[in-house]
Chain A
Amino acid sequence: MMTSRERILNLVKANQPDFLELPEIFPSWKTELSLTESFSAILKTIGGTIVQLNNLEEVAQYISTQFGEKGRIISTLPELADVTESGWKNNDPHEYENVDLAIISAHFGVAENAAVWITEELMHQRAVPFICQQLAVVVSAKTLVPTMHHAYDLIGEADYSFGTFIAGPSKTADIEQSLVLGAHGPKSMIAFLLP
């Protein structure tokens, strides 16, 4: 008996139209704004916060003054070890449910939509940037690219297990189109924009 796989593939092959070539894609980016200006402006409109600092020491300082002893703070960045919890890694992902702030880094950011690209090794565990109450991402202004086309040029053939673009905090407008930040994931998202 023919399997569903064979049946479906046979039907697709019999019914698909004559071959059509893939188009060329020509990305363009026309704006007066610089990459940093665009990234910052768009992140604000989608509910995120931009904090421009000079280096990771300043990030550590910002965290200790703004968040201090408040709640559980974890980070994948060794430079922030002094202001974050130690020994939090290698736990069951459910265990991060009470994390108040997670600070991770991104490979790069995209100016046209304020998304940052993060793969599994930068999160330690996939659940981390979603389960935390607040998320902070360290991204360098040097890494900003104009559009998603440039973003995928950078990603290239990278062999990640899991990767995600994150743009702002988790949100919903399902109740009468009223925008509410913090649906299931982080209620706020800070981008620490370094030079």
Chain B
Amino acid sequence: MGTTTKDHAELSDIFNKDEDRVNWHDETLWFVRAKRDKAAHYIPEWEDLRENASQIKDNVLSNLSQYLISFEEKAQKNGIIVHWAADAQEHNKIVHQILTDNGINRIVKSKSMLTEECHLNEYLEHNNIEVIDTDLGERIVQLAKEAPSHIVLPCIHKKKEEIAELFHQHLGTPKGESDPIFLTAAARIHLREKFITRKAALTGVNFAVAETGEFVVCTNEGNADMGAHLADVHIASMGIEKIIPKRKHLAVFLRILTRSATGQPITTYSSHFKKPRPGQQMHIVLVDNGRTTQLSRPDFRSSLKCIRCAACMNTCPVYRRSGGHSYHTAIAGPIGSILAPNLDMKEYADLPFASTLCGSCSNVCPVKINIHEQLYKWRQVIVKEGYVDSKKATAMKAMEFTLSNPGVYKTAGKVGRWFMKHLPFTVNNNINSWYKQRDMPEVPKESFGEWFKKQNDDK
């Protein structure tokens, strides 16, 4: 772990200081997970669809170079300008150059986790270009000078009273007015002015079709469309893994994406951009930024199948109780924890350990990524590479010694139970990191081994 940044456990401590908020966060995301279940059960062939989606993505990864070449060729024929960026820095430079060439210093942006990953906003602002995030949740965290804490629900960590205060300060709404309908209406007026006056719009990409050279952007708010259709210059940033082979495959992905994300049957808008409108410039930036490295790792390459629905976050017992910011990376939660170590194994060495390995993430994943197995595999890679922190390494060595020596194991259990019973303060303290945010369980009188032996002896 980096010496300057806090790790997942330390950042979770901060989030856990407000117990009511943690409970609300936990219950709200579980509610979204429940809505996903209801939507999935409405489709009798749901499991077939997941299998289809998974296999299409497997094919994409196995033939990605051809699909990228085909996509580029078709997109160019359609009048779209295609750029290639090896890393975040190059992506940001390309975007900046397009804006400079057009004499533009103010842009609107709809949701793009890739631009979060590349820290585009900071880069552009450093170069005197104003960026307005137009997704309501993203605008809220931008005003708060924070990062999104969830890829679909960017400000799920915020209470409406805090948003009211932000809007009061920045948009001039009455102090203490926290009604979501009122606040949304205020944001609508505030952002309409931006849509009408900005000459360039940046969007993300949900799917790009190799067969036709078109790309699809999904939103509920309509902010990607408002930006793109009013701007002279539309820039779409996408990771190279967003390619799908044929237009008809959109059916599979549009059926599963939003049902998995929020439980809606489809987003309000699923817009297919194929050609720029007359007089408009349309650019696509194809970004690698570590994706080809992840593609080279057989154990982890299937993480590139992700369609960013966030179902794994909503279901994750660790994410729900630790909040997105505790993951200190653009994409939080289980999927983020298998993507981030690829970018920087040392910086994100803590993330694969931020999981109970319960497997719920893999069960809900619409493209069947074996997320929890990859978390487990990353742990082994990280320990082997020596990036694990010293406390965890010592504990793991002690555990290895104990578990490989039956005599030591039995004694350790007895000693532990004795301490918890007679000297509880030795475990119920803040030196024991397990005790934080938890109550220690009641001490059993005997171990399972002892109980089992007794049962057999009684017979």
B-contacting residues of A (Cβ < 8 Å)? Answer: 3-5, 7-9, 11-23, 25-28, 30, 42, 46, 93-94, 97, 112-115, 120, 125-127, 130-131, 147-149, 151-153, 155, 157, 159-178, 180, 182-186
A122 and B409 alpha carbons, distance in the complex (Å): 73
Contacts of B160 in A (CB 8 A): 175-176, 178
Please name the residue on chain A nearest to B292 by beta carbon. A11
**Residue B449 lies at the interface, judged by CB distance under 8 Å to chain A:** no
Q: Given A172-B136, A174-B154, check contact A4 B195 (CB 8 Å).
A: no
User: Mind listing 20 A-B residue pairs with CB under 8 Å?
Assistant: A20-B55, A22-B56, A26-B48, A28-B44, A94-B230, A112-B265, A127-B230, A148-B251, A148-B254, A170-B221, A170-B268, A172-B184, A174-B135, A178-B160, A180-B180, A180-B181, A183-B136, A184-B134, A184-B188, A184-B221
Considering only residues 124-174 of chain B, those with a C-beta below 8 Å from chain A are 134-137, 140, 153-156, 159-160, 163
**Residue B183 lies at the interface, judged by CB distance under 8 Å to chain A:** yes
Closest-CB distance, A35 to chain B (whole angstroms): 14
Task: State whether B61 touches A16 (Cβ < 8 A).
Answer: yes
Q: Given A22-B245, A127-B230, check contact A184 B269 (CB 8 Å).
A: no
Task: State whether A3 touches B52 (Cβ < 8 A).
Answer: no
Task: State whether B248 touches A152 (Cβ < 8 A).
Answer: yes
Considering only residues 308-350 of chain B, those with a C-beta below 8 Å from chain A are none
Task: State whether A113 touches B265 (Cβ < 8 A).
Answer: yes
Contacts of B181 in A (CB 8 A): 178, 180
Please name the residue on chain B nearest to A11 by beta carbon. B292
A113 and B56 alpha carbons, distance in the complex (Å): 22
Task: State whether B222 touches A170 (Cβ < 8 A).
Answer: yes
Please name the residue on chain A nearest to B241 by beta carbon. A12
Task: State whether A164 touches B55 (Cβ < 8 A).
Answer: no
Q: Given A97-B196, A152-B247, check contact A182 B188 (CB 8 Å).
A: yes
Task: State whether B274 touches A163 (Cβ < 8 A).
Answer: yes
Task: State whether A177 touches B28 (Cβ < 8 A).
Answer: yes
Please name the residue on chain B nearest to A48 by beta carbon. B268
Contacts of B249 in A (CB 8 A): 25
Q: Given A12-B240, A166-B269, A184-B222, check contact A93 B230 (CB 8 Å).
A: yes
Instruction: Count contacts on B: residues with CB < 8 A to the other chain.
Output: 88
- Partner of A113 from B55, B62, B63, B266 at Cβ < 8 Å: B266
Please name the residue on chain A nearest to B136 by beta carbon. A174
Contacts of B255 in A (CB 8 A): 112, 147-148
Task: State whether B84 touches A3 (Cβ < 8 A).
Answer: yes
Please name the residue on chain A nearest to B266 by beta carbon. A113
Task: State whether A93 touches B85 (Cβ < 8 A).
Answer: no
Find the residue from A22, A112, A127 having the highest chain B CB count within 10 A. A22
- By secondary structure, the A interface counts as loop
**Residue B421 lies at the interface, judged by CB distance under 8 Å to chain A:** no
Q: A163-B274, A185-B226 are in contact. List 19 more A-B contacts (CB 8 A).
A: A5-B84, A8-B68, A8-B288, A9-B65, A15-B293, A25-B248, A46-B265, A126-B228, A127-B226, A148-B250, A148-B255, A148-B266, A160-B272, A164-B270, A167-B267, A169-B268, A184-B134, A184-B188, A184-B221
A170 and B69 alpha carbons, distance in the complex (Å): 35
Closest-CB distance, B180 to chain A (whole angstroms): 4
Closest-CB distance, A47 to chain B (whole angstroms): 9
Q: Given A147-B255, A160-B274, A184-B226, check contact A167 B59 (CB 8 Å).
A: no
A130 and B268 alpha carbons, distance in the complex (Å): 11
**Residue B252 lies at the interface, judged by CB distance under 8 Å to chain A:** yes
Please name the residue on chain B nearest to A164 by beta carbon. B271
Task: State whether A130 touches B248 (Cβ < 8 A).
Answer: no
Contacts of A152 in B (CB 8 A): 247-248, 250-251
Contacts of B250 in A (CB 8 A): 148, 152
Q: Given A15-B295, A25-B248, A170-B220, check contact A97 B268 (CB 8 Å).
A: no
**Residue B95 lies at the interface, judged by CB distance under 8 Å to chain A:** no
Contacts of A20 in B (CB 8 A): 55, 58-59, 62
Contacts of B31 in A (CB 8 A): 177
Considering only residues 44-102 of chain B, those with a C-beta below 8 Å from chain A are 44-45, 48, 51-52, 55-56, 58-59, 61-65, 68-69, 84-86, 90
Contacts of B40 in A (CB 8 A): none
A154 and B286 alpha carbons, distance in the complex (Å): 30
Task: State whether B252 touches A162 (Cβ < 8 A).
Answer: no
Task: State whether B292 touches A12 (Cβ < 8 A).
Answer: yes
A125 and B65 alpha carbons, distance in the complex (Å): 35
B400-430 CB mask vs A (1 if < 8 Å, else 0) is: 0000000000000000000000000000000
Task: State whether B301 touches A17 (Cβ < 8 A).
Answer: yes
A8 and B153 alpha carbons, distance in the complex (Å): 32
Please name the residue on chain B nearest to A131 by beta carbon. B226
Contacts of A173 in B (CB 8 A): 153, 262
Please name the residue on chain B nearest to A187 by beta carbon. B188
Task: State whether A164 touches B64 (Cβ < 8 A).
Answer: no
Task: State whether B86 touches A42 (Cβ < 8 A).
Answer: no
Task: State whether B266 touches A115 (Cβ < 8 A).
Answer: yes
Task: State whether B251 touches A147 (Cβ < 8 A).
Answer: yes
Task: State whether A9 touches B223 (Cβ < 8 A).
Answer: no
Task: State whether A175 touches B136 (Cβ < 8 A).
Answer: yes
**Residue B296 lies at the interface, judged by CB distance under 8 Å to chain A:** yes
Contacts of A166 in B (CB 8 A): 268-269
Q: Which 5 A-B pairs have the closest CB atoms?
A: A185-B222, A113-B265, A183-B221, A174-B137, A11-B292
- Partner of A167 from B62, B187, B247, B268 at Cβ < 8 Å: B268
Contacts of A97 in B (CB 8 A): 192, 196
Closest-CB distance, A18 to chain B (whole angstroms): 6
B25-47 CB mask vs A (1 if < 8 Å, else 0) is: 00010011000000000011100
Q: Given A165-B270, A172-B221, check contact A184 B68 (CB 8 Å).
A: no
**Residue B273 lies at the interface, judged by CB distance under 8 Å to chain A:** yes
**Residue B275 lies at the interface, judged by CB distance under 8 Å to chain A:** yes
Closest-CB distance, A179 to chain B (whole angstroms): 9
A182 and B221 alpha carbons, distance in the complex (Å): 7
**Residue B106 lies at the interface, judged by CB distance under 8 Å to chain A:** no
A13 and B229 alpha carbons, distance in the complex (Å): 36
